[in-house]
Structure formats: structure tokens, C-alpha cells
Structure 1
Amino acid sequence: MPYTISEIIVLFFTYSFIGWLWETIYCSIKDHHYEYRGFLFGPYCPVYGFAVTTVLICTKDVQDNIFLLFIVGIIVATVFEYVASLFLEKVFHLKLWDYSKLWGNIQGRVAPVISLFWGFGVILLVKFIQPFVQKIINIEERDTHGWLAVGITIVMGIDTILTVISVERFHITTKMWDNRINQFIERVRSRVESRMAEKGRLKVGDWHHSVIQHYDELKPNRLSWNQKRMLKSFPKLRVLDAPKFMEIKKAILEKENRSNKNTAV
């Protein structure tokens, strides 16, 4: 094992935080306002921590060979990204990224151009970033004797449990929205069909505007702060079994934000 357990935990946390910091700064600049990123409540993105520690462990024996480091980095990062996407979809019914429009993609989970990016990223990580980070971790290990790793495990463990509960509530809320929208569409359809001379199945056209107009009537639950944050932080997020909610999620967010401002006033 190239690293001790406590080193792996601290590496995981360090790169989770760096990933969160990078995404927060980049997205805040891009969107022209502060954007709190991350899947968990705390200031860290575990997907970066998992990815980087996995890459560091798997490339330990080839780090002196740039070509092998590039190839192994591509393979490890691509497999990790595919598995992470599959896990989120099967466990949480969520899809946070979609490469369907990129050439050579596999189920929209991975794509060659993204894998090449990861390959160059791994070289940058191993050759320039990790040596500096490792020096800091070595000092930390010497001074805390692994107790920092214990604290990180407890804090992130609690955060993970709270996030799983929040995501499950988010899933339930979006499915409730979908059910209410479908019921609303059926009511409109039945009302219109009852006035038609010739009965037949009416194709309901643009229902989006009508749903938002009847927002207060349809609303099953208000979206929590974290649920709204998730929708804003991951614009490509899709709840796979709540398609209608996903179609109007932007309008719902705008309506919720306006309601919050009116309440505050």
C-alpha cells in the first residue's frame, strides 16, 4: 500500500476541498454571483477526493514514466467517472453530467475528449500538485499522529448521512411534483374533452405555462435551501423518474425565489 490509511483520508479531504474551491470560484465568476458548489453540505466535493486518491494509488508504480502515467491516468479516471455516474443513477436516480452530445460517448457517462483531458490532468496532478500536497500531509501526520484523519472521518460521515437523507427527500419531492403535474394535465384534458362535440383523446400542448400559473394550487412541498442549491449547482442534474419536474425546474426555482423575496419583505 503506497499510503497509510490516515494519509488516504487526509488526501481524500484535501482534494475534495480543492475541487470544491475550484468549482465554487469558477462557477461564481462564470455566473456573476456567488455559487455554493458541492453535493454535500460542507465545503468539499467527494467526487474529486475519490478520483484523485484512486488515481494516485493506481499510478504509484508508473509515475516516473510520463507515457504510462498518461495512459493509466486516462483508464483509471474514465472507469471511475463511468462507475460514479452509474452509482448516482442507480442509487439516487440522479444524473449530474451528460456527454451524449460528444463524439464517441458511452451512454453519456464518459467520452474520449473528456478522458484525454483527465489524462493530461493526471500528469499535472502527479508531477506538480501532489509533491507539494504530500509535504504538507507529511508534516500533519508527524504533528497530529493521524487524529486529523479521525476528525475528518467523523465530520464527513455525519455530513454524508445528512446529505443522503436530503437527497431522498429531494427525490420524493420531485416525484410528488410530477404526480401533481400529471393530475393537473389530466384535469385540464378532461375539462376540455367534456366540452368537445366529438369525444376523443386531446393532445395537451404547452402545459408549462399553465402549471406555473397554478403554482400555489399544485405545490406539494416547498423546496428546501439545499434542494434549490442542488438544482442551481448542477444545471445538468436530472431526476430520472420525474421528467416533468425536470422540464420546468428553472421556472419553479424562479417562482420559489420570488416567493422567498416577497416573504422577506
Structure 2
Amino acid sequence: MQIPPRWVASSGDAERPNVARLYDYYLGGAHNFAVDREFAEQTMKVVPTAAIVQHTRSFLRRAVRVCVANGIRQFLDLGSGIPTAGNVHEVAQQADPTCRVVYVDNEPATVAHGRTMLRGNATAAMVGADVRDPAAVLAAPEARALLDLSEPVCVLFVSVLPYVLDEDRPADVVAGYRAVMAPGSHLVMSHLTGDVQPEMVAKLVDVAAETLTPIVARPRSAIEALLEGFDLLAPGLVLTGRWRGESPAETGAESVSYVAVGVKR
């Protein structure tokens, strides 16, 4: 028997599509509303959003397993959305139950849902904060309780930096976290790009604008700059489908993002 999802009340939350719930729907989760499902089905007629999200999630799972294999036992997932459908704590704690995971999102309903879902998991927590403010994120009680920044940590920027617009200085945001990461810490990043599929990505940007959460695609050179201070694990900064395990094809949904895993020097 399928256990129904646990929800919390949120005034007006079901009136328009929500990015976190859309991601959940694209990943086959149950934490979404009818308005999200309707919007998702319409957008998938224009751009393969579900396939794009699923390729990125597959990369996230592979990257987390590599981090655990490299000795990382604590994770900070920035802009996580709803922690469901194979998210970081499930993957990391399956590999090693002692892994500790802190999720961060700035959308109140998403944070409320996440906290409800993680209730009873003493080694995973949800922080309500803006990823653009590293000090606020790291000062949150949940982060202070679960993370020891004197030891290596994995910081994940998976699909979140496109939401950090140029005026918000994304390089400074990443640098704010890099500054407090111990040597040997890992950075996991994926970032939207129009380098290979410009028409598809332009449509995706238009779709995002309809949810009132604009995104920006960046070229390889701009994404490389965000990785300053990290030595990249093989195969380096590559398209999603080329990072350790997926098809090397570069003609579809797997080719709209660059991904990388780096180790702080």
C-alpha cells in the first residue's frame, strides 16, 4: 500500500506552480499539487523538462556516492527544494548511515514540507534561508547542530546557481562557502548552459519565467570561474551525460547543463 505524502498547510500555496513541487513531479514524487502537474504536462510539450531534471538527479546521486567513497560524511545541499525522490540524505545514508545532511531552501512552504518529511531523522534537517547569504545559512541552528566545518564537507550547488542572477554576484556566493570549507571538502555543481542546445535552453528560460522564478543560463567560461579554488575530479567540467556513467550523447536533455565535482585545495 502506498503511504500518502504528509503535507502542511500553506495559505495560497496551491494557487500557482511552485519550482520545488515541479521538480518533485518531474522526479516521480508525490509532493505536488494539481496546478503543478498541469503546468508540468503543458511545459513538457515544449521542452523535455522531466528528462532534464532526471538527468541532473542521476548526476547528483553519482556525485554523492563518490563523495562518500572519498570519506565525506556531511553534506550541505543548497537550494535543495523538497528532499524527496532519491535526494542526498537517502543516497548518502544508504552508503553510510552516519552521514549528516542539511538542506537549504528559501521558499517557506518548501521548508515546511521538508521539515515535516525529515521529522524523525536525527541526521538530516531543513534550513529556511537564502543561499545567497552564506553567513545566515551556516548560522542556522540546524546547520550548527549537524555540520562541523573544521572537517571536510560536501557543498552542493545542484541546479541552484541559475537562480542566482548576475546582479547577485554568483561567484561571490560560491566564494562565501568556499572560504569556510576545510581543505579536502568537496563541491558538487550543475549549471544550466545554452552552449550546446541554445533553442531548447531558451525555451526552458521562458518556462521558468512563467513560474515567476527567472533563471539564467551561463557559458562554460562563466561556470569555470565559479569553480575557482577547487581541483576537479575526472572527467572535469563536462555535460551531464558525460559525468561517470550516463550516455555520452550530446543532443538532448543531458546536454543542457555542465556538471563537476571539485575538491578544495
TM range (shorter): under 0.3
Tell me the TM-score normalised to structure 1 length: 0.24
More strand by percentage: 2
Structure having the higher Rg:
1
Higher relative contact order (CA 8 A, sep 6+): 1
More helix by percentage: 1
Tell me the TM-score normalised to structure 2 length: 0.24
